[in-house]
Amino acid sequence: MRWLLLKDLRILRRSPLLVGLLVLYPVVIATLIGFALSRGPDKPQVAFVSLVPESAEEIELGGERIDVTRQAGPLFRAIDPVRVKTREEAIAKVRSGDVLGAVVVPEDTTRKLQAGLEPAEIEVFYNAEDPVKASYVRDTIKSQVADANNALTERYAKVALTFLDLIATGGEYNFFGRDFQVLGLQRSERILTEAQRDLPAGSPAREQVASVIEFARLARENLDLSDDVLASVGTPIRVKQTQLDGGSTPLSSFAVAIAVSVSLMFITLLLAAGALALEREENAFPRLVRGLVSRTGLLVEKAGLAAACSLVVVLMMLAGLGLFVDLDWGRFPLWVAAASAGALAFAAMGLAVGTLTREVRAASLLCVMVSLPLTFLALVPSGSVAPALYDVVRAISAIFPFRPTLDAMDSALNDSGGIVVPLLHLAALFVAFGAASRLGLRRFAAR
């Protein structure tokens, strides 16, 4: 078997283009997948025009001046704004496809906000030629407008609270430059209590004053609760997040696990399937199994070759990725365990493909055709498809090594959960695909 292994390595060494492609292709694919997963889409270009006159850009709430145009800051961070001068120009840019959407802030916006009698409206125009991008623009603008609403609601609530506080406890109030003294319920209650004491016992006015004192007390006590009520009005629903399943892997680290699993899959599958198919393509298989090598020995040699080569490549890849992503090198033995188990399972699958196709080109084609959809299936998140369909997706993913390899690598790299179950899963797949390839060898030599 040692001589066969050396022979295969020698053949690989003499096929630099093949080896280059075998390494580069999965690395490029893995990098693209990782990049796509770890990075959001580009900021969409959105036309923006504020028709609010410069002199009216500020509103006064509770004595505090607010520049409304600054509320657009978060929106501008989420989009690539293209500033225009008129509403018509904004719409024309959307129609011509120069931008994906337009946001128009009408000139009466600050007036409506200042009056607080009716909600101010901003206009949004979409270009729906690309449904994905249109949806992204729509959601981004909605989300940012919701944030601005929240911010303004909080300010309104704060102003309302100031007024309520003034009513409850009294104090000074400035209105258009003039200061007013507000008595407040608390002081009213105190004054009335003192006045009541001066009234003669049995006086009917004493009883009436007592009822006014009681009203003032009740009103003050209930206004004290208004802080919490208004806070609830400002943010009626808060989000409390609780993670039930899965690890706490950052997206970039998960992308590393995906990149490694994809590379491992392509290299191992293609090498195992190709190396076995090559034995038949070169007509050497019948010669080898006439007593020179056992059929099982041949499979073991090919699996070992493919797994060892892919293991070396992915470990080098991890070393390279470690320059950009924070990886815990203390978990290196677990990386090796996860990558080895995945590589062996992929190798067994590759051998099964090799026995099925019996020629290198067909084997390579089938490997790519099978592995790409399986990768995407394994990455389908729960809840994104109907439950029954998701069960089917999970079942299909479970009978191929990509998903358990990804789970094992994620666990090894990011401590995202137990590694034992995915390793056992991979061991089971190795045995199953190994048995299938051994059976497949029965017809391997047939013409």
Partner 1 sequence: MADPVTAEHSPGEHKREAPAAAVLQADGLTKRYGDREALRDVSLSAGRGELVAVIGPNGAGKTTLLSILAGIQRPDSGSVSRAPEEIGWVPQQAAVYGKLTVRENIELFARLEKVEDPAATVDRMLDLTGLRDRADDQVGELSSGNRQRVNIAVGLLGRQPVLLLDEPSAALDPRQRERVWEFVLSLTEAGTTVVYSTHNIQEAERHAQRVLVLADGELLFSGSPRELEQIVERERDRAPVERGDFEEAFVAFLRQRGH
Question: What φ, ψ does residue 325 adopt, rounded to 5°?
Answer: -120, 145
Among 55, 211, 242, 283, binds partner 1 (CB under 8 A): 283
- Asked if residue 379 binds partner 1 (CB under 8 A), the reply is no
Q: How far is the CB of 376 from partner 1 (least distance, A)?
A: 35
Total interface residues for partner 1 by CB under 8 A: 19
Closest CA to 369 of 438, 273, 244: 273
For the window 293-322, what string marks contact with partner 1 as x by the rule CB under 8 A? x-----------------------------
Nearer to partner 1, 13 or 240 (CB): 13
Q: Measured between alpha carbons, how far is 78 from 144 in angstroms, rounded to an integer?
A: 8
Smallest separation (angstroms) from partner 1 to the CB of 14: 5
Q: Which of 9, 191, 292, 392 binds partner 1 (CB under 8 A)?
A: 292
Q: Is 15 in the site for partner 1 (CB under 8 A)?
A: yes
Give the C-alpha distances (Å, rounded to integers) separating 198 from 185, 192, 213, 217, 277.
20, 10, 14, 20, 111
Separation between Cα atoms, residue 312 and residue 306, nearest integer Å? 10
| 439 lines the binding site for partner 1 (CB under 8 A) | no
Nearer to partner 1, 132 or 446 (CB): 446
Which residue of 291, 333, 381, 387 would you call a contact of partner 1, by CB under 8 A? 291
Residue 59, phi then psi, degrees to nearest 5: -125, 160
Residue type at 37? L
Residue 199 binds partner 1, judged by CB under 8 A = no
Give φ, ψ of 292 to 5 degrees. Answer: -80, -40
Give whichever of 11 and 251 is closer to partner 1, judged by the CB atom.
11
- Kindly tell me which residue out of 9, 10, 32, 39 binds partner 1, with binding defined by CB under 8 A: 10
DSSP-derived 3-state class of residue 64:
strand
Which candidate, 55, 68, 60, places its Cα nearest to that of 174? Answer: 60
- Please state, in angstroms and rounded to a whole number, the distance separating the CA atoms of residues 30 and 130: 26
Contact set with partner 1 (CB under 8 A): 3-4, 7, 10-11, 14-15, 282-284, 286-288, 290-293, 445, 447
